[in-house]
A and B are shown apart, each in its own frame.
Chain A
Amino acid sequence: MGRPLAAVTREPLDLAALVGSVSVSPGHGAVTSFLGVVRNQHLDRRVTHIEYEAYEPLAVRGLERIIEEAQDCWPEAALGIWHRVGRLAVGEASVAIAAASPHRADAFAACRYAIERVKQIVPIWKHEFFEGGEAWIEGARADPSDEAARRAALDPA
C-alpha cells in the first residue's frame, strides 16, 4: 500500500499498478490511461534513446499540482501520474497516467488534461540521442500561473 499518485522514478513504469492505485472506489465506472513512449524518430532524426532529467522535488510537486487542478475540474475523478527519468530506449514508457471516474467522459478529459499539463509545467527535460548527434529538447516556458496555458490544456487542439 501507499504508492503515491504523483511520482518521478528511475524504474520502468507499471501501468497496471498505477491503474490499481487510482481505481479504488466502487463508484468508479471508467478508468482511462495514457502511456507516453519513446519514439524512434523526431524532426527527421533517427532517435536511438532519450535521457530524461528532472528537478525531482519540483517535478513531484508539479505532478501533485496537476492532480489538484484536476480535482477542481472533475471532483469525482481520481488521477495518478508517474514519470520516468534516466536512459530510456525506443519503445520504453516515459510517462504513465491513469484517471478513474464514475463516467467515461471525465476519465478521458482528466487523462488528456494531465498529459498536456505535464508538458507545460513539470521540470523534466528530454536529452535526445540520434544517429549523428544529440540535442536537448525544449518545449514550453514553465509557468504554472499562466492561466491561458491551463485553459489550452483543458481544450487541446
Chain B
Amino acid sequence: MRVTVRLFARLRDIAGAGELVRDVAPGATPRNVWDGLVREFAPLGDYSGSVSVAVNADYSRLEAQLEDGDEVAFLPPVSGG
C-alpha cells in the first residue's frame, strides 16, 4: 500500500522535501515508516525520541495501523507562540 509522508520544520530540511510518497507493507505503522525514513536520511534519527505523529491531520501513535492512502505527518518538537 502507499502512504503520503509529510515532514515539517527541520525534518523537512533534513529530508530535502516536505512531502514524500512511500510504498509500505500492509499493516505497516507510522513507526515502520519512520524507521524507513531514518534509513534514508540518517540525521532524522536524532528525532526518534522526540517526534510526534499525526495520521490524516489528527494526532496518532507510532503504533497505529495505517491504511492505503493515509497521510502520515512527522512533527518535531513544536515552538509556536
Binding site for B on A (CB under 8 A): 36, 52-55, 57-59, 61, 83, 94-95, 115, 118-127, 136-145
CB pair A125–B59 under 8 Å, yes or no, is: no
- A118–B81 CB distance below 8 A: yes
B5 CB to nearest chain A CB (Å): 12
> Assuming the A-B contacts A58-B57, A58-B58, A58-B59, are A127 and B77 also in contact, with contact meaning beta carbons closer than 8 angstroms in the complex?
no
CB distance from A14 to the nearest CB of B (A): 18
How distant is the Cα of A57 from the Cα of B75 in the complex, in angstroms? 13
Which residues of chain B come closer than 8 Å to A143, judged between CB atoms?
52, 59
The interface residues of chain A, by DSSP majority, are classed as mixed
Q: By the criterion CB–CB under 8 Å, are A142 and B75 in contact?
A: yes
Residues of B within 8 A of A115 (CB): 81
- 27 residue pairs of the A-B complex, CB under 8 angstroms, read A36-B81, A52-B80, A55-B6, A55-B54, A58-B54, A58-B57, A83-B80, A94-B81, A118-B80, A119-B81, A120-B78, A122-B78, A123-B54, A124-B79, A124-B81, A125-B76, A125-B79, A136-B9, A138-B9, A138-B10, A138-B50, A139-B79, A140-B77, A141-B50, A141-B51, A141-B77, A142-B75
A127 proximity list for chain B (CB < 8 A): 9
- Determine the chain A residues whose CB is within 8 A of the CB of B78 once the complex forms: 119-125, 138-140, 142
